[in-house]
């Protein structure tokens, strides 16, 4: 890309995490039997009137605030009119003229460590359409998705590379996930990405025709689609050909974008104010309370976790899953050893989850049991070796607490100094020559004695206490 500047803008459609739809009482639930989660409003029945979902508005406000946007507290809705089978009413309720959020920013960090502020043009509330399922000769329509609340988030054309596009979507996804605005599962369609790509020769102001790549369903596909589109458009412009203004999709089999339809003529959606939804003036106190109670974002958690002593790679694993993060947060309320909790979660527990292809909420492990096991290690009741016996049991079943397991399996460490001293007496008698080398090689001598003690007790002795007794016993010999 020596001769051309890349211009990228991104539109994201994000399903709001509400229990019911944005303008109707029908429930929201992914993966249900087709056409069972619908109401008269979703199907466009005459006389069915919309009602605004307050929770959907609250979630939109959380997103607007996190993206540093201006909030329009006068809520107004418009109709986007067009005929298509997935839109039973013949119009979509949206916010064309008065978006709830405008003029925002989101900071991203690139692989080389540099930071970039991505300008966001608008965030507006709207409703989703039904889902079309194409067969060989027929198309079925599932209206379960029709009417689900969405926010559409549109950047300004300020991104300049595939990397920047991916980093932006990745950061936006993380932000909305930790806010609880959406589950942002790209594979399930709760976060959909449309990328607009155009090129222009350096030193000029005029863009080439904009090409929109629709419905990218993964970060990997965002990168691949943008990279392919840049190369495709560059090749056309080098040959003196015009880049056609069109809508394309990414073909995963071919690993390239393919044309869907031309956009030479802009569609006239005949926008006008929705007459069935009167303007709603949001209460300023309520808006303030929504913002004041906004969940902690991942960036703040990163700082806090680092202050707890967690390594960067451990923090990244914890924050890779909201369920894992929440589990960690609940556990550290019950123990002072956050580092040990994080290490167990990101090592042994994560290994088990990956092996079984499960989430942390799909196994029997509870924050209370993990915290109790860590506390038993810290107070010297059990060793880390014993924890390897206890942890698989509490991951498999929550019928026993770690304390009960320790009692049942007789895993308690010996913590009686007098008993430890008695156990060391025959060991010292057998290793008199070794002990004489203590002044020259203290570490080797103490390790050898400790190893023998652990062997004799099957590891059931407090190592720190035993080591202090060994040293004292040698020095007073």
Structure confidence by residue, pLDDT tens digits, 104-122 = 999 999 999 999 999 999 9
How far is it, in rounded angstroms, from Cα 234 to Cα 232?
6
pLDDT tens-digit map of 409-449: 988 888 888 988 989 989 998 998 899 899 889 999 999 99
Q: Which of 187, 181, 157, 184 is nearest to 169 (CA)?
A: 184
Domains, in order of start, for the chain: 4-281 (no CATH), 296-409 (no CATH), 417-475 (1.10.10)
> In the prediction, which pLDDT does 133 show?
87
Question: To 5 degrees, how large is the angle CA 302–CA 307–CA 309?
Answer: 100
37 CB neighbour count, 10 Å cutoff: 22
Residue 367 half-sphere exposure, CB side, CA atoms within 13 Å? 14
195 CB neighbour count, 10 Å cutoff: 27
pLDDT band at 2 (very low <50, low <70, confident <90, very high): low
Q: What pTM did the predictor assign?
A: 0.85
Element (H, E) at 120: strand 115-127
The answer to whether 78 touches 95, Cβ cutoff 8 Å, is yes
Reduced to 3 states, what is the DSSP secondary structure of residue 306? helix
CA distances from 215 to 3, 32, 245 (A): 29, 22, 17
Q: What share of the chain is helix, strand, coil (3-state, %, to 5)?
A: 40, 20, 40
As a residue count, the chain comes to 477
Segment among 111-125, 198-212, 245-259, 334-348 with least mean pLDDT: 198-212
Q: Which of 145, 147, 163, 165 is nearest to 155 (CA)?
A: 165
> In the prediction, which pLDDT does 30 show?
86
Calculate the dihedral angle through the C-alpha atoms of 258, 167, 193, 124, rounding to the nearest 10 degrees: -150
How far is it, in rounded angstroms, from Cα 326 to Cα 318?
9
223 CB neighbour count, 10 Å cutoff: 18
pLDDT band at 57 (very low <50, low <70, confident <90, very high): very high
How far is it, in rounded angstroms, from Cα 196 to Cα 207?
12
The answer to whether 215 touches 194, Cβ cutoff 8 Å, is yes
Which residues share a beta bridge with 123? 101, 153
> Please, what is the average pLDDT of the chain?
93
| 363 contact partners, CB below 8 Å, separation of at least 6 | 352, 353, 356, 395, 396
How far is it, in rounded angstroms, from Cα 64 to Cα 67?
5
Backbone angles phi, psi at 269, to 5 degrees: -85, 0
Element (H, E) at 149: strand 149-155
Where does 366-458 show beta strands of DSSP type E? none
The answer to whether 243 touches 37, Cβ cutoff 8 Å, is no
> In the prediction, which pLDDT does 436 show?
86
Reduced to 3 states, what is the DSSP secondary structure of residue 216? strand
pLDDT band at 348 (very low <50, low <70, confident <90, very high): very high
Q: Which of 97, 10, 6, 93 is nearest to 44 (CA)?
A: 93
pLDDT band at 458 (very low <50, low <70, confident <90, very high): confident
Residue 266 clears pLDDT 90, i.e. is over it:
no
Q: Which residue has the tokens 């070796």?
A: 385
pLDDT tens-digit map of 123-159: 999 999 999 888 888 999 999 999 999 999 999 999 9
Question: To 5 degrees, how large is the angle CA 429–CA 433–CA 439?
Answer: 115
The answer to whether 65 touches 74, Cβ cutoff 8 Å, is no
């Amino acid at each position: 890309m020596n001769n051309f500047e890349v211009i990228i803008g991104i539109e994201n459609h994000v399903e709001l995490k509400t229990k019911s739809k944005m303008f109707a009482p029908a429930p929201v639930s992914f993966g249900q039997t087709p056409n069972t989660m619908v109401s008269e409003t979703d199907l466009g029945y005459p006389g069915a009137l919309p009602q605004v979902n307050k929770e959907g508005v609250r979630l939109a406000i959380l997103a607007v605030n996190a993206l540093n946007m201006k909030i329009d507290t006068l809520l107004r809705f418009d109709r986007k009119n067009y005929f298509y089978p997935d839109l039973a009413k013949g119009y979509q309720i949206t916010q064309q003229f008065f978006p709830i959020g405008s003029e925002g920013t989101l900071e991203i960090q690139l692989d080389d460590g540099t930071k970039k502020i991505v300008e966001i043009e608008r965030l507006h509330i709207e409703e989703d359409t039904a889902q079309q399922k194409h067969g060989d000769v027929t198309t079925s329509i599932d209206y379960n998705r029709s009417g689900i609340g969405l926010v559409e988030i549109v950047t300004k054309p300020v991104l300049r590379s595939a990397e920047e596009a991916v980093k932006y979507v990745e950061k936006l996804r993380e932000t909305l996930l930790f806010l609880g605005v959406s589950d942002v599962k790209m594979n399930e369609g709760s976060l959909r990405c449309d990328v607009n790509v155009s090129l222009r020769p350096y030193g000029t102001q005029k863009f080439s025709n904009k090409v929109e790549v629709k419905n990218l369903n993964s970060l990997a596909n965002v990168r691949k689609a943008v990279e392919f589109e840049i190369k495709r458009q560059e090749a056309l412009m080098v040959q003196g050909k015009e880049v056609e203004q069109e809508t394309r999709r990414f073909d995963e089999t071919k690993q390239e974008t393919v044309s869907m339809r031309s956009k030479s003529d802009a569609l006239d959606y005949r926008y006008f104010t929705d007459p069935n939804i009167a303007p709603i003036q949001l209460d300023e106190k309520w808006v303030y309370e929504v913002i004041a109670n906004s969940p902690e974002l991942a960036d703040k958690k990163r700082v806090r976790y680092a202050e707890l002593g967690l390594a960067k790679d451990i923090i990244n694993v914890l924050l890779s899953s909201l369920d894992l993060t929440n589990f960690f947060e609940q556990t550290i309320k019950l123990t002072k050893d956050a580092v040990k909790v994080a290490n167990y979660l990101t090592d042994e527990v994560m290994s088990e989850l990956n092996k079984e292809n499960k989430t942390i909420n799909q196994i029997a492990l509870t924050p209370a049991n993990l915290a109790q096991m860590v506390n038993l290690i810290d107070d010297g009741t059990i060793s880390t070796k014993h924890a390897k016996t206890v942890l698989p049991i509490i991951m498999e079943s929550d019928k026993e607490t770690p304390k009960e397991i320790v009692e049942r399996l007789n895993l308690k460490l010996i913590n009686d100094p007098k008993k430890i001293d008695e156990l060391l007496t025959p060991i010292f008698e057998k290793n008199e020559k070794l002990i004489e080398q203590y002044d020259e090689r203290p570490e080797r001598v103490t390790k050898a004695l400790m190893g023998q003690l652990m062997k004799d007790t099957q590891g059931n002795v407090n190592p720190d206490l035993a080591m202090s007794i060994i040293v004292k016993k040698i020095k007073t010999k």
